[in-house]
Amino acid sequence: MDSQTPKKATGTVKRHRLSTRLWHWLNAALLYTLFTSGLGIFNAHPRLYWGQYGANFDAAWLELDRFPGWLTLPALYNLAMSRHWHLTAAPIFAFALLFYMLWSLANRHIVRDLAFRRDDLAPRHIWQDIKDHARLRFPTGDAALRYNVLQKASYIGVIFILLPLIILTGLTMAPGMNAAWPWLVDLFGGRQSARSLHFIAAFALVAFFLVHILMVLLAGPVNEVRSMITGRYLVPEERP
Amino acid sequence: MILTRRHLLLGATATLAGCDRLGRNEAVREALFSAENFHRWAQRSLMARDALAQEFRPDQISPIFRANGTANPNTPAYKALWRSGFADWRLPVTGLVARPLSLSLAQLQAMPHRTQITRHDCVEGWSAIGKWRGVPLKSILEAAGLSDRARYLVFRCADDMGGGRSYYESIDRLDAFHPQTILAYALNDRPLTVANGAPLRLRVERQLGYKQAKYLMGIEAVATLDGIGKGKGGFWEDYAGYDWYAGI
């Protein structure tokens, strides 16, 4: 979002920065690859444990059937290829997040658009926002050019909690990284705990994705998608 | 536009089919297979040369240490060795060494040993913690006088993987001289069972399970992996496309 918008926003405005748009579509491709290849890897041992160790004789907290071929990359079970896809996409994804965070600090995207303002956090304001969401009353005019408090909370949660969590738990599963950074295993309480958290974080991202898509569809998919491609956004007219 | 579940399913399948097709493209395959080099470089840049894999307390040992891969080589030669309690088994250390060795199990057990409680991480995702005892590979390589030209150590195994191809694995000098890299003859204070690789298996603790070659029948020091198997440095590397560097 650009803050240099006129007082009364009408017509089309420049909405999303280039950094945000690039990162958004790169992420779409990478997260898709990571999720589907990740399910392929999970299929090699579809059981999850808590703690340092966990194998067939140990108690699993979750035991699933293999995910079907239409959800996995590659479609036919091939652990080596799933790993190649996953381990190629993962470092690109991790460094892109790091770069995006630094870029967004530098161009003040985080401070200006993502950080909560004092009045965002007033209980009355949060309650109003929840009611608006529940009634699918999407903001218009100037308000449509700012993230509302629920949006901010979900973007902050994804960018600063969920994505770092999924990267760090992924690294924790690497035996080489355990030797390099043993504190990672301690942080998550063991390699098998990290594997479980990695899986939970992946499905939390899927939940975010589904809500995200739903919101785009409800708020006007053409306008929203265009604003993420070209940056131009048609400001919804104020309600009379 | 109404998106139905059917559309989404078709879309997902089509995109994945596209990825599958990409995965068969030679240039894409090469890019995907070279990620290993990045991970090896990154991990080795981040860790000290002799950084240790985590070691655990005795109460953290897995109640049952899962055995995986070959459960019993079952070849006539291996069965004969097993029947004699591996008294006739020898470990030749050959290739680029000044003094080729041929070590018996008794000789290995008489050498200074290291005991370590470490976590075994299978490429499939599971982990098991066990207590290993064995001879540091470093002391064997020093006894044999490893040549400076040797870059890799190749481990030949007794298990026949079909078509007369034996399991094999390889590591480079850096891991070969690591203090936790041992030739283990005991697991959890008992001699190795057949399922876990009797009489001797490799432990290279900063890498995944398929590097931990079981049923060792020989060690060869080489300058290059070319000409060994299909040249990728290990059985699964050759036939399943696994990464040679298994630190991730």
| Residue B7 or residue B64, greater confidence | B64
Q: Is the Cα dihedral A84, A89, A92, A97 positive or negative?
A: negative
Name every chain B residue with its beta carbon within 8 A of the beta carbon of A32: 15
Each residue's pLDDT tens digit, A35-69: 999 999 999 999 999 999 999 999 999 999 999 99
Q: Judge: B43–A176 Cβ closer than 8 Å, yes or no.
A: yes
Residue spans of the domains in chain B: they are 1-46, 51-240
pLDDT for the residue B9: 62
Closest CB from B62, B125, B128 relative to A195: B125
Task: Specify the CATH architecture of the domain B51-240.
Answer: Alpha-Beta Complex (3.90)
pTM over 0.90, yes/no: yes
* Residue A85 resides in a domain: no
- The count of other CB atoms within 10 Å of the CB of residue A101 is 17
Chain A residues closer than 8 Å to B63 by CB: 57-58
Q: Is residue A84 part of a domain?
A: no
Q: Say if the Cβ atoms of A179 and B241 lie within 8 Å.
A: no
Domain membership of residue A54 (yes or no) is no
Residue A198 counted as domain residue: yes
Predicted confidence (pLDDT) at residue A94 exceeds the cutoff of 90 = yes
pLDDT score of A3 more than 90: no
Facing A179 at nearest CB: one of B52, B125, B246: B52
Confirm whether A132 is domain-assigned: yes
* Interchain CB distance below 8 Å, A85 and B19: yes
> What value of ipTM does the predicted structure carry?
0.92
- The C-alpha of A121 sits at a distance from chain B's nearest C-alpha, in angstroms, of 36
In-domain check, residue A32: no
**Strands in chain B per DSSP E:** 90-95, 101-104, 114-121, 127-136, 152-160, 166-172, 182-187, 190-191, 201-203, 216-222
Is the pLDDT at B3 greater than 60, yes or no?
A: no
- pLDDT of residue B6 exceeding 70: no
Residue A216 lies in a domain: yes
Number of domains in chain A: 1
In chain B, residues with a C-beta closer than 8 Å to the C-beta of A217 are 3
Q: What pLDDT is attached to residue A140? A: 87
Average pLDDT, chain A: 92
Residue A190 forms part of a structural domain = yes
The residue range of the domain holding A140 is 12-17+90-234
Q: What is the C-alpha to C-alpha distance for residues A134 and A12, in angstroms, rounded to an integer?
A: 27
Specify the DSSP class assigned to residue B209: G
Residue A101 has pLDDT above 90, yes or no: yes
pLDDT band at A218 (very low <50, low <70, confident <90, very high): very high
Per-residue confidence at A8, pLDDT binned at 50, 70, 90?
Answer: low
The whole-number pLDDT of residue B170 equals 98
More confident residue, B174 or B19: B174
Cβ(A191)–Cβ(A178) under 8 Å? yes
Instruction: Determine, for residues B62 and A58 on separate chains, whether the beta-carbon distance falls below 8 Å.
Output: yes
Which chain B residues touch A38 with a CB distance below 8 Å? none
- Inspect the interface and report whether the beta carbons of A191 and B123 lie closer than 8 Å: no
Nearest to A176 among B123, B128, B206 (CB): B206
